[in-house]
Amino acid sequence: MRNAEQTQNETRNRRRTWKWFLLLLIILSPYHLITCLHSDDKIISLTFHDGPNPKSTPQLLKILDEANVKATFFVVGKMVEKYPELLKEIHKHGHQIANHTYNHKNLTTLSTTEIISELSRTRLLIKDITGVDTHLYTPPGGHYNSRVIKEANSCGYKMALWSVFPEDHRNSPPVIYEKVVSNSRDGSVVLLHNGPPDTIDALPKIIEKLKVRGFKFTTLSELLSQGKGKHIVYPRD
């Protein structure tokens, strides 16, 4: 017959085994890769502008999932309104959602009221669909001035630009790949588009090469929280 001491020892061993098993799960979790970044890691953020797009968004999500990469999607309000389920999928897959205005207009040509409307309409849509509030936006076409920055900031927004732009809306996959890989540095923010087939073709090889070079991928907000990429955010603290 088994004595009480043997039973207690077996119980303690089982508990130790479970503790190690749970620790291993945490270490291997994709979310752990984001939350355990350190300031001395070589990190980079992929951002996808426009969309959501029924032709490209599911493919982008699949590629990012397979590579265990989290990114930031700057979405357009009128597209969110048209494809709310795709926005839910972006959120479900653990990516950051940010604002790219409602109509994708040049903000410098708009009145103060129109600038605020472009951001607020999209903000409310994102909030209603995902429950997520947004605090970063990019100006369509990269067009901005001091008035745009000021009015957006009055709504609680900071403008985020980029440091690497391969012009994927008009370049071939090999050119997109070369421009991203050659120009990426620690703290880089890469602008890509949620739409062009050439972007989708180039993306897996870009991720693979940057991983080989020791880069870790994270969302834009996480990258900024590590004290990197702040030179592309306005107004500056």
Question: In this predicted model, what pLDDT tens digit does every residue of 82-132 receive, in sequence order?
Answer: 999 999 999 999 999 999 999 999 999 999 999 999 999 999 999 999 999
CATH code, domain carrying 156: 3.20.20.370
- Is residue 31 domain-shared with residue 144, that is, in the same domain? no
* Cβ proximity of 88 and 124 under 8 Å: no
Please state, in angstroms and rounded to a whole number, the distance separating the CA atoms of residues 205 and 228: 24
- Is residue 32 domain-shared with residue 132, that is, in the same domain? no
Please state, in angstroms and rounded to a whole number, the distance separating the CA atoms of residues 154 and 150: 6
Total number of domains in the chain: 2
Please state, in angstroms and rounded to a whole number, the distance separating the CA atoms of residues 31 and 89: 17
- Is residue 26 domain-shared with residue 105, that is, in the same domain? no
- Is residue 15 domain-shared with residue 104, that is, in the same domain? no
- Is residue 47 domain-shared with residue 59, that is, in the same domain? yes
- Is residue 26 domain-shared with residue 132, that is, in the same domain? no
- Is residue 8 domain-shared with residue 31, that is, in the same domain? yes
- Is residue 56 domain-shared with residue 71, that is, in the same domain? yes
- Is residue 64 domain-shared with residue 77, that is, in the same domain? yes
Cis preceding linkage at 140, omega within 30: no
Please give the pLDDT value at position 236.
86
Report the 10 Å Cβ neighbour count for 142: 11
- For residue 26, what are its two tokens? 């945490």
Q: Nearest CA to 154 among 115, 192, 181?
A: 115
DSSP lists the bridge partners of residue 72 as 47, 96
Distance of CA 209 to the CA centre of its chain: 19
Place of tokens 């389920």: 85
- Is residue 57 domain-shared with residue 26, that is, in the same domain? no
- Is residue 72 domain-shared with residue 92, that is, in the same domain? yes
User: Which domain covers residue 13, as residue numbers?
Assistant: 1-36
- Is residue 27 domain-shared with residue 44, that is, in the same domain? no
pLDDT level of residue 41 (50, 70, 90 thresholds):
confident
* Cβ proximity of 71 and 210 under 8 Å: no
Mean pLDDT of the chain: 89
Please state, in angstroms and rounded to a whole number, the distance separating the CA atoms of residues 233 and 144: 12
Q: pTM for the complete prediction?
A: 0.84
